[in-house]
C-alpha cells in the first residue's frame, strides 16, 4: 500500500435526494430481482394473449370489464389485464422492490455505509421512496404496453367500445388507456407505500414482501364479504377499479377522486410512519 494524500475538507455543495435517487435507480438496474419483476410484467400479458389466440372456442375471461372485446381490438387486452393484475400480480411485483428496498440494506449493513456519508437520513429515505415508485411505474407501463402492442398486433388497433357502450376511435382509446393506467397507478403506489413501511419497520425483506401482498389480499377478502359491503368504498382493493371511470362516456370522475383521497389516507400515514421510524432508528444491521 502506498501513502495517501489527505486534504482538509473544503466547503462544498452537499448532495441530496437527487444523488440518492440516481444511485437507487442504478442499484435497481444492477439487481436481478428487478428484471424478474420486469420479466413477469412482460410474460403475463403475453401468456394471456397466447391463451386467447390458442383458444378456438372464442371464450375469454368472464365478468371482467372489456372481456367481451378481447378479440375485437388490441385496446381491450391491457384493460382486461389491469383488472386481473390487481388480484395479486401487480401488488406482488410492486412489493418485490418496495418491501426490500430498506430492509435489504439494513440486513446487509449497507445502510450504515450510506448513512455515514454526507447525505441526511431523510434524503436517503426520500430517494428510496422515489426509486420504489419509479420501479412501480415502470412495471405498470411495461405491463400495459406489452398487452397493448402485442394485443394490437394480433387483433388490430380497432375502435374500442367503452363501458358506457359508445365506440371511440383508436386515438381516443389510446389516450383513455393511458389515463386509466395513470389512475391505476394510485392504488399501486399505495401498495408501494405499505411495502416501504413494512420494509422499514420489520427490517426483514421476506416479511415485508409477503406482508405487503397479504395486506392487499386481505382487503380483497374483506371486499368479498357481503356483510362488510359498507367498507368497500374505503378498501384499497376497490380503488383498483377506479380507473374504469375514465373508460366511460362521459368520464366518471367520482371513483377517480375517491380513489385519490382513499389512497392518500393509506399512503401518507404509511410513509409518515416509515419516515419517522427511519429517522429515529438505531442502525445496527451488518
Partner 1 sequence: MTAPIEARGLVKRYGEITAVDRVDLTVQAGDVYGYLGPNGAGKTTSLRMLLGLIRPDEGSARLFGHDPLLEGARALDGVAGFVEAPRFYPYLSGRRNLELVADLDGGGARSRIDEALDTVDLSARARDKVGGYSHGMRQRLGIAGALLRAPRLLLLDEPTTGLDPAGMRDMRILIRRLAAQGMTVLLSSHLMAEVEELCDRVAIVGAGRVLYEGALGELLAGTAGRYELRTTDNAAAAEIAARVVGDVEQTSDGLAFHADEATAAEITLALGQADIGITALVPRTATLEELFFRMTEPSAANGRPALEEAVR
Residues in contact with partner 1 by CB under 8 A are 1-10, 12-15, 19-20, 22-23, 26-27, 30-32, 108-110, 112-121, 280, 282-284, 286
- Residues 71, 243 contacting (CB under 8 angstroms): no
Instruction: Please identify, using beta-carbon distances, which residue of 110 and 220 lies nearer to partner 1.
Output: 110
Instruction: Please identify, using beta-carbon distances, which residue of 32 and 58 lies nearer to partner 1.
Output: 32
Cα angle, residue 100 at apex, residues 121 and 102 outer, rounded to 5°: 10
Closest C-alpha among 188, 15, 192, 189 to residue 101 = 192
Q: Cα–Cα distance between 269 and 137 in angstroms, integer?
A: 21
- Residues 72, 154 contacting (CB under 8 angstroms): no
- Report, in Å, the least distance between residue 21 CB and partner 1: 11
Closest C-alpha among 286, 184, 174 to residue 242 = 184
- Report, in Å, the least distance between residue 2 CB and partner 1: 6
Strand partners of residue 161: 167
**Residue 282 vs residues 75, 126, 279: alpha-carbon distances, Å:** 50, 18, 9
- CA 181, 182, 187, 188 torsion: positive or negative? positive
Instruction: Please identify, using beta-carbon distances, which residue of 107 and 248 lies nearer to partner 1.
Output: 107
Which residues have a Cβ under 8 Å from the Cβ of 205 and sit 6 or more positions away?
A: 99, 100, 103, 104, 107, 199
- Report, in Å, the least distance between residue 117 CB and partner 1: 4
Instruction: Please identify, using beta-carbon distances, which residue of 26 and 46 lies nearer to partner 1.
Output: 26
**Residue 241 vs residues 19, 94, 181, 203: alpha-carbon distances, Å:** 36, 17, 11, 32
Instruction: Please identify, using beta-carbon distances, which residue of 25 and 260 lies nearer to partner 1.
Output: 25
Instruction: Please identify, using beta-carbon distances, which residue of 26 and 39 lies nearer to partner 1.
Output: 26
- Report, in Å, the least distance between residue 126 CB and partner 1: 13
Amino acid at each position: 500500500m502506498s501513502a495517501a494524500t489527505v486534504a482538509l475538507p473544503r466547503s462544498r455543495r452537499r448532495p441530496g435526494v437527487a444523488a440518492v435517487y440516481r444511485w437507487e435507480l442504478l442499484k435497481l438496474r444492477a439487481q436481478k430481482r428487478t428484471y424478474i419483476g420486469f420479466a413477469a410484467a412482460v410474460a403475463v400479458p403475453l401468456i394471456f394473449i397466447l391463451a386467447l389466440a390458442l383458444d378456438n372456442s372464442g371464450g375469454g375471461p368472464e365478468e371482467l370489464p372489456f372481456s367481451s372485446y378481447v378479440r375485437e381490438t388490441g385496446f381491450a387486452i391491457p384493460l382486461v389485464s389491469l383488472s386481473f393484475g390487481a388480484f395479486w400480480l401487480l401488488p406482488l411485483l410492486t412489493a418485490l422492490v418496495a418491501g426490500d428496498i430498506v430492509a435489504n440494506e439494513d440486513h446487509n449493513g449497507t445502510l450504515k455505509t450510506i448513512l455515514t456519508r454526507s447525505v441526511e437520513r431523510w434524503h436517503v429515505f426520500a430517494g428510496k421512496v422515489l426509486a420504489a415508485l419509479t420501479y412501480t411505474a415502470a412495471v405498470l407501463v411495461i405491463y400495459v404496453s406489452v398487452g397493448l402492442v402485442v394485443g394490437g398486433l394480433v387483433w388490430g388497433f380497432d375502435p374500442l367500445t367503452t363501458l358506457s357502450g359508445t365506440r371511440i376511435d383508436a386515438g381516443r382509446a389510446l389516450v383513455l388507456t393511458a389515463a386509466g393506467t395513470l389512475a391505476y397507478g394510485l392504488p399501486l403506489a399505495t401498495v408501494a407505500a405499505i411495502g416501504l413501511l413494512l420494509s422499514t419497520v420489520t427490517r426483514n425483506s421476506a416479511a415485508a414482501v409477503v406482508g405487503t401482498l397479504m395486506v392487499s389480499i386481505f382487503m380483497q377478502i374483506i371486499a368479498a364479504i357481503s356483510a362488510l359491503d359498507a367498507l368497500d368504498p374505503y378498501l384499497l382493493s376497490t380503488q383498483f377499479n377506479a380507473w374504469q371511470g375514465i373508460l366511460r362516456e362521459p368520464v366518471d370522475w367520482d371513483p377517480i377522486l375517491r380513489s385519490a383521497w382513499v389512497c392518500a389516507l393509506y399512503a401518507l400515514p404509511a410513509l409518515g410512519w416509515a419516515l419517522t421510524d427511519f429517522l429515529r432508528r438505531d442502525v445496527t444491521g451488518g
